Structure 1
Amino acid sequence: MTDHAMESLLRPAVELYTVGVCAGAAALCLHSPWAVALSPEIGAGMAVAYTAFGLKRLNEARVVLRYRRNIRRLPRYSLTSRQIPVSNKRLFMGRGFLWTRLHTQRLVEAQDPALARYVNQSAAYQCARRLERALEKAPFALSRLAQFTAWDSPFNPVRPLPPVGGSPLLHGVEPHEGEASLPLGERVGHTLVLGTTRVGKTRLAEVYITQDIHRQKPEVVVVFDPKGDADLLKRMYVEARRAGREKEFYVFHLGWPEISARYNAIGRFGRISEVATRIAGQLSGEGNSAAFREFAWRFVNIIARALIELGRRPDYLQIQRHVVNIDALFIEYAQQFFAHHDPQAWEAIVQIEGRLNEKNIPRHMIGREKRVIAIEQYLAAKRIFDPVMDGLRSAVRYDRTYFDKIVASLLPLLEKLTSGKTAQLLAPNYTDLDDPRPIFDWLQVIRKRGIVYVGLDALTDAEVAAAVGNSMFADLVSVAGHIYKHGVDHGLPGVYSSAEKLPINLHADEFNELMGDEFIPLINKGGGAGIQVTAYTQTLSDIEARIGNRAKAGQVIGNFNTLQMLRVRETATAELLTNQLPKVNVQTRTLVSGATDTADPDAHTDFTSSSQDRVSSTAVPLIEPAHIVSLPKGQMFSFQEGGQLWKVRMPLPQSSNDDAMPKDLQELANHMRESYNANAGNWWTSAGGAPTVDFNPETPPPTRKRQY
């Protein structure tokens, strides 16, 4: 087959004719060698020769038959979480092959209308599907027939295809698939996974996260889940427990604060100015809003510096309290400052406060407390200089009405982060020893090689989810800068900084919902600190719409070295991959026939005819956007390692007997399923079902507190 100008696998398996002849000839040579004028010894030798040649042709026929079968239906591929291979050098993706010019050639050939009988399903298959539709509401006796034709078993000759859609051609063009993987060294260049809704992005994330949890050297695993996928949470905990790392497992969930860990996004910093940057960075900086954002940054920075001088750890609740009423902070800081530098100042301040009335209060200080005005006048008279005090004085000297207007853009953000029970999670009380919910920060998690699930409850409140996600990303950028400069263990007693990087695997599902300006430096410079981002989203337009700037969206995309694309519905998204691929030459065959008569009556030839097979070469794209749009669920193209294109199908999950969770996490997962309907449209359930947990649907929402 390989000696011809064109490979042809979509054809009758004519090799079987040779196999039949060889089998008959071998039998004849063994049973009746005299019939072909052979001695018994020579007949036995000829039988061996015929058998060897027949086996060779049988193997060639097997290749053709296997190829024709795969074109219509791929073999089932499913794994339990225990069967997912874990390597310290490569990241397992599934089964697949390196896409080359040969596969493009086979794909072009399979689309030939003359070969449709090998590509389309058989008439019996189509008849069985029509029968199932016709008997859908038939009496029970007849409906049994439909159940038989729909039986999902290899013994069913008209077995239905798995509900994955798409074109099986795209993976069936390679009958000899193998294990597809990505070198771990490539992950630090970050990975972008694109795919429309319900095509397997979360399942792919489960495969990657399972490996990250189980590696020989424990790695940090952080998962951002805006939707709140109960199966993903369950999978993470089960794998952490199986790896013996459940003590390092944290659950942070905005929708279930009763059992969530607590986190202060602005409680840890290298420089005080980072507090203001993380808060004000989430405000709009477009057009006239830029000036208001700069003022908000300065005002938050003044408050943060004062809180640090007072010995307090900043949090969103304190920032909001003092944005609304800066007077209390000004008085409190003045008390501490005068107690150390001018103990006699309060007597003079009290005297000034007693002389104040509506007539001698400056116009710009109207509405302020009299004590604030007295302190301001005393400081102006004494000419005392202190950086923090000067900042607070500049804030209180603003006209109250004007001040409220210029902080108007800051207050909605702080309200989002401090309303209801969210405040308990984002502004934890460090002195409350009766609260068993742990408080974590990213540097602590990294040092412990922790596993963190972050559920942002975006389906309930997308605004708060985006604000919290941006805060966490900003905090991670700060931690990455610290690790890049000093190492993970810098500052610990008896520990010296190590040049070895600790892999920090950051999985961001629906990351377009969380992304802000903080995400760009995280993927741009985070690799130097060992952060390996795997981001999952639907389309390029999602990224651009979230950022609001096409150039910045391109900047984000340009920082992902590995691109993995499942089925997408946007042509521009598909072209992100196809435009980076070269064109290849494929061969096409053309049948040419003709006849020519002669006008010479004396000629001995009345006409001439000719029949030709012409093989020509044409340049076509390696793959086209239409191929990506027609991918089945659970399959993807992976563009990796600087230009290699892999065609991959991920394993379908199989349930196992060790999927056990604590009671309160079971309750959380149960209510996540009910609230978010996370299992709607799970395409893999036909392969044995996604792992499930048995718990009582009548159980009330989780209220018991527990530490993980």
Structure 2
Amino acid sequence: MSVRPVEALLRPPVELWSALVATATGSIALLAPWALMMPPGIASAAAASLFLLAAVRARQAWRVLRYQRNMRRLPVYRMRAERIPVSRHKLFLGRGFRWTQRHTQRLRDTLRPEVQHYVQPGALYRWARRREVDWESTPMLKTLAGCLRQPRWWNPVRPQPAVGGMPALHAVEPEEEDAWMDLGERVGHLLVLGTTRVGKTRLAELLVTQDIHRGDVVIVFDPKGDADLLRRIYAEAQRAGRADAFYLFHLGFPEISARYNAIGSFSRITEVATRIANQLPSEGNSAAFKEFAWRFVNIVARALVALERRPDYQQIRRYINDIEPLFVEYARHYLAVHGPEDWADAVEDVAAKISERNLAAALRGRDREAIALMRYLQAQDLYDPVLEGLVSAFKYDKTYFDKIVSSVGPLMEKLTTGSIAALISPDYLDEQDARPIFEWLQIIQRKGIVYVGLDALTDTTVASAVGNAMFADLVSVAGHIYKHGVPGAEAGTVPTISLHADEFNELIGDEFVPLLNKAGGAGFQVTAYTQTWSDVEARIGNRAKAGQVAGNFNTLIMLRVKELATAEMLTDQLPRVEVNTLMSVSGVDDSADPASGVDFKSRNEDRISVSEVPMLTPADLVRLPKGQAFALLEGGRLWKLRMPLPDDRADAALPVSLAAMAEDMQRRYVTNEHWYRTTERWWHPVADTDSPTRHETHNHG
């Protein structure tokens, strides 16, 4: 067996010989004690001792053989959804082991040239792979080629699972166990990194399934719209008895999607303009136009709120293009409340005296009533911040106004064109539309499950705008929960809100940072999935700010990555460890003294040297098989993980297609035009110092 301090597992299993000899000798002692000249009693005791020795040595040999076998194969790890363990205190991540110096030593041992025949596939395996291709089109042999290709137990040269990578990364520890993470660590947020098609979404299914069965509020952002992930979330909602709390928002399937007003809920009125303006470019000269766009969107939003109308993209687009109708409507509303009783007659008199030739160039061609209202208000010297903003926008020359807000125009056109417009600018009083409308605070109150499919492959701009607006809305909700709790919940209780953001580099913006570093106190626990960290840096455009984002993730799970800089996010956090290297030394000395009687002297030595190496290198992460990962858990403990693949066979809860799911969802959708009256106001009931009016009426607009 192995001798410390050098562990030798990549060698012939010499323990088998001693086990065989001990078994043979014990058998002779038991069956023919006279052959060993032993009395029967002593022979029986000797046989028992020899069989015990044989068992010990056989066990040691089996450990070596199993270790070497795992070096060449990748066992498939599947688990049915209903068998995924769910704990109230732990999060199941799969099977694995704690990575230590011993595993670094074993991994480096696999790189030695003399042990490659234990690590690489054998000659028979390579022959079978060649014959699969050579015989594929041969009439008489293609059946045999098909048999060689079968991944069955009866095929001794069956191909490896199509997961690639280096099996030795997990084979260095034969004794794996279930890997768990403390749920208390999830408030510190979890970052999952991995290149395309290596298991990020499957890991998301594993984590989301547990969150659903645990009873959390679950929100899943999926920019690309993975159909398997959607079907799995819906199936688990049904299996957990929470199908009535499931909402689907999908820009790619508007006919079955719930509706959501991305700018209809806020704590401060300025959030409406911020959510829209944040989607505009801010580099160079674009920064000034972005600020102009923010100002005019803010003017429109404040006026709509003062008129007790809920802002949406349709209204913002309409009044950005032509602010005159909004100015007239608000001026009439303001004068009806604050003006004298005869204001209407006075405005008509002013309108009658207007001469087109005497008007400023910016006012020519404008409606006479609008000009009269502006002049009357200026003459009355009435001050109202909303009215002041509307008047300033109304007085701008139309050509100049169009130029300074031109940056926001294309964005608003994209957000209000086609079937998407009805999704993100819903008509609350349309009784013919059976699709529900949701708000985040309502979802949290109901302990809902929301799948957000943004269809980024079709239109990245719209997906990014809607996703960022949702994040900004969630930050606002988190602030409300942090200060006031959830309406209707017990005092002092904070709901657990599990937010999963797949491909979050497509979603990240300025809104995402406060969600990470401030929303934990409101019960938010974010799990973000992306391919490389450079994607995040490119999206943010600032390396320091990207580092700020990375610093808010306390737990890191890294699957196979192809970018060394991303791999170094994990390896740079690991310590260096000492490994042993066995070096063989041989030498011969000739004797020149003919009288000495010694012609030559030879020596053979085994020397052990110690060197310091990284616990893991970026190259190790590049060679990970699909479905395997390294994880830094609970304060820097390194784990090697193997995630279970979903076993969907005979899963009654899983809809066979999106069409079947859509039919079931359409049966469940029930419209209630007063569903949103869950609080005293239709925006979040918190102090709003920026709001121009303070009213307690319900929204009917």
Q: Normalised by the size of structure 1, how large is the TM-score?
A: 0.92
Matches within 5 A, 1:375-454: 375-454=373-452
Q: What is the match of residue 303 of structure 2?
A: 306
2:464 to 463, 466, 479: 466
Deviations for 1:545-586, whole angstroms, at most 9, x for unmatched residues?
Answer: 111222222111121111111111111111111111111100
- Which amino acid in the other structure matches residue 269 of structure 1? F
1:363 to 361, 364, 369: 361
Whole-Å separation in 1 of the counterparts to 2:324 and 2:149: 74
Deviation, 1:308, is 1.4
1:707 to 669, 676, 701: 669
SS in 2 for 1:584: strand
Q: What is the match of residue 100 of structure 2?
A: 100
SS in 1 for 2:429: coil
Whole-Å separation in 1 of the counterparts to 2:346 and 2:668: 53
Report whether the alignment pairs 1:165 with 2:164.
Answer: yes
- Which amino acid in the other structure matches residue 304 of structure 1? A
8 Å contact kept, 1:368–1:400:
no
Deviation, 1:538, is 0.8
8 Å contact kept, 1:436–1:705:
no
Deviation, 1:345, is 1.0
8 Å contact kept, 2:414–2:462:
yes
8 Å contact kept, 2:235–2:655:
no
Q: What is the match of residue 454 of structure 2?
A: 456
Q: What is the match of residue 641 of structure 1?
A: 634
Count of residue pairs the alignment pairs up: 669
Moved more, 390-399 or 255-264: 390-399
Whole-Å separation in 2 of the counterparts to 1:122 and 1:441: 60
Whole-Å separation in 2 of the counterparts to 1:203 and 1:343: 68
Deviation, 1:368, is 2.7
1:236 to 230, 233, 238: 233
Deviations for 1:469-528, whole angstroms, at most 9, x for unmatched residues?
Answer: 111111111111111111122xx4xx6532x32211111111111111111111121212
Deviation, 1:702, is 12
Moved more, 353-362 or 121-130: 353-362
Whole-Å separation in 2 of the counterparts to 1:285 and 1:475: 21
8 Å contact kept, 2:192–2:530:
yes
Matches within 5 A, 1:34-45: 34-45=34-45
Deviations for 1:305-328, whole angstroms, at most 9, x for unmatched residues?
Answer: 211121111111111111111110
Moved more, 275-284 or 660-669: 660-669
Deviation, 1:155, is 2.2
Q: What is the match of residue 676 of structure 2?
A: none
Whole-Å separation in 2 of the counterparts to 1:704 and 1:653: 27
Whole-Å separation in 1 of the counterparts to 2:380 and 2:657: 61
Deviation, 1:663, is 9.2
1:541 to 534, 550, 569: 534
Whole-Å separation in 1 of the counterparts to 2:198 and 2:658: 27
SS in 2 for 1:118: helix
Moved more, 336-345 or 540-549: 336-345
Deviation, 1:419, is 1.1
Task: Report the identity percentage.
Answer: 58
SS in 1 for 2:383: coil
Report whether the alignment pairs 1:277 with 2:274.
Answer: yes
SS in 2 for 1:179: strand
- Which amino acid in the other structure matches residue 523 of structure 1? L
Deviation, 1:661, is 5.9
Distance of aligned partners of 1:665 and 1:607 in 2 relative to their CA distance in 1, 3 Å threshold:
closer
Please identify runs of 4+ aligned residues in structure 1 that moved more than 3 A: 658-665, 701-706
Distance of aligned partners of 1:132 and 1:434 in 2 relative to their CA distance in 1, 3 Å threshold:
same
Q: What is the match of residue 497 of structure 1?
A: 491
- Which amino acid in the other structure matches residue 211 of structure 2? D
8 Å contact kept, 2:18–2:54:
yes
Whole-Å separation in 1 of the counterparts to 2:261 and 2:660: 26
Deviation, 1:272, is 1.6
8 Å contact kept, 2:223–2:453:
yes
Deviations for 1:447-473, whole angstroms, at most 9, x for unmatched residues?
Answer: 111100111111111111111111111
- Which amino acid in the other structure matches residue 510 of structure 1? E
8 Å contact kept, 2:496–2:524:
yes
8 Å contact kept, 1:664–1:704:
no
Q: What is the match of residue 250 of structure 1?
A: 247
8 Å contact kept, 1:165–1:633:
yes
- Which amino acid in the other structure matches residue 306 of structure 1? A
- Which amino acid in the other structure matches residue 157 of structure 1? P
Whole-Å separation in 2 of the counterparts to 1:667 and 1:413: 34
Matches within 5 A, 1:53-202: 53-139=53-139, 141-202=140-201
SS in 1 for 2:356: coil
- CA RMSD between the two structures: 1.8
8 Å contact kept, 1:263–1:439:
yes
Q: What is the match of residue 208 of structure 1?
A: 207
SS in 1 for 2:560: coil
8 Å contact kept, 1:16–1:61:
yes
2:616 to 623, 628, 632: 623
SS in 2 for 1:568: coil
Report whether the alignment pairs 1:286 with 2:279.
Answer: no
Deviations for 1:324-346, whole angstroms, at most 9, x for unmatched residues?
Answer: 11110111111112222223111
8 Å contact kept, 2:238–2:653:
no
- Which amino acid in the other structure matches residue 534 of structure 1? T
8 Å contact kept, 2:557–2:631:
yes
- Which amino acid in the other structure matches residue 609 of structure 1? S
Whole-Å separation in 2 of the counterparts to 1:15 and 1:2: 10
- Which amino acid in the other structure matches residue 504 of structure 1? I
Deviations for 1:230-268, whole angstroms, at most 9, x for unmatched residues?
Answer: 111100110000000000000001111111000011111
Whole-Å separation in 2 of the counterparts to 1:625 and 1:172: 19
8 Å contact kept, 2:2–2:9:
no
- Which amino acid in the other structure matches residue 276 of structure 2? I
Whole-Å separation in 2 of the counterparts to 1:107 and 1:171: 9
8 Å contact kept, 2:236–2:653:
no
Unaligned runs of 5+ in 2: 671-701
Distance of aligned partners of 1:271 and 1:330 in 2 relative to their CA distance in 1, 3 Å threshold:
same
Deviations for 1:595-638, whole angstroms, at most 9, x for unmatched residues?
Answer: 01122232222221111000000111111111111111111111
Whole-Å separation in 1 of the counterparts to 2:501 and 2:351: 56
Whole-Å separation in 1 of the counterparts to 2:164 and 2:490: 55
